[in-house]
Amino acid sequence: MFEEIKIIDVSVLFPESKIYSDNKEENEILTEFEIQKKRLMCTENCSRELGLRIAQGVRLNLKDIYKDSKKFNNTQKKIKKFIREEVEPLIRKLSNEEIITDIDDPRFNFYPEFSDEEDENKEEFKLIVDNSIIKKKWNNYELIEIIDIKEGQTGLTFEKIFNKSRIGANVTQILIEDPYLHSKKQNFVMLRSEQKQPQENQLYLIYKCKKKNIDFEYELEPHMHDRLILFNSGVMATPGRGLSIYHHINYYTKNIIWDNLPCKGCRIQIFRLKGFDVVKDNIYNIYI
């Protein structure tokens, strides 16, 4: 006896790609959206490998469609919701692989679930609401310095990089945004912490900061994709490698001599926020 063979219409799985343009009408976008939804449904009848390939292709196509639908707010919301609630969970399910969050690990495979690139075209100083706090978009800033760190360079600590002459003498608040800050290496570099069990980490970091008279707060943002550091002096830094600028850190060695650690080649750009008032403006209530 022969096994029943299921026939899949390949034209539905891999429809001919279309060129997107700014003058697309909403009904054309919705039609393309429906095609991608049907493609995702077809993964139920595919092998895991083929299903994963299809789902990843759907995600890429939907992100292109999302960008083209910027004039149609309701359609954009539908697409974004579909990606988050249907596409991303399916990809994670089909991937069936260990998530590697260490950015320096060759097997690194963690990326933010969805890019906020759509925000780049929003009007200047648009107000957004986040957890009942109104944040103001700050577009007015100027480049004042580029710190060029050479591969293998030593003698650079964060105290030397972000010194008072560079960021101001009266800094009391720092906001660090980094999609990979939760990784072991970056967390270790930021706080020079000790090896702890996962359940102890949060309390330990808060306790250690408190001993240095530092109020430590954190928030997980799943859609962050840029690295930046804001100082309440109106200075902003964009570190290309985030806080992971050192080679060869042994996490089990106490009393590390940070001046002796060789650096990775990278650049750190320093900006000044134009019009920033150190008395009136709050770095936690703005976004770049």
Per-residue pLDDT at 127 exceeds 50: no
Structure tokens at 140: 């007015």
pTM of the model: 0.50
Structure tokens at 181: 């800050």
pLDDT at res. 169? 87
β pairing state of 174-177 and 141-149: unpaired
Q: What is the topology classification, in CATH, of domain 121-287?
A: Endonuclease; Chain A (3.30.870)
Q: CB count, 10 Å around CB of 242?
A: 23
pLDDT at res. 91? 86
Per-residue pLDDT at 41 exceeds 80: yes
For the chain, what is the mean pLDDT? 75
Q: How far apart are alpha carbons 163 and 142 in whole angstroms?
A: 19
β pairing state of 266-273 and 235-239: antiparallel
Mean pLDDT (whole number) for 37-60: 84
Contact 191, 208 (CB under 8 A): yes
Mean pLDDT (whole number) for 81-100: 79
Domain boundaries defined on the chain: 10-96, 121-287
Mean pLDDT (whole number) for 188-193: 49
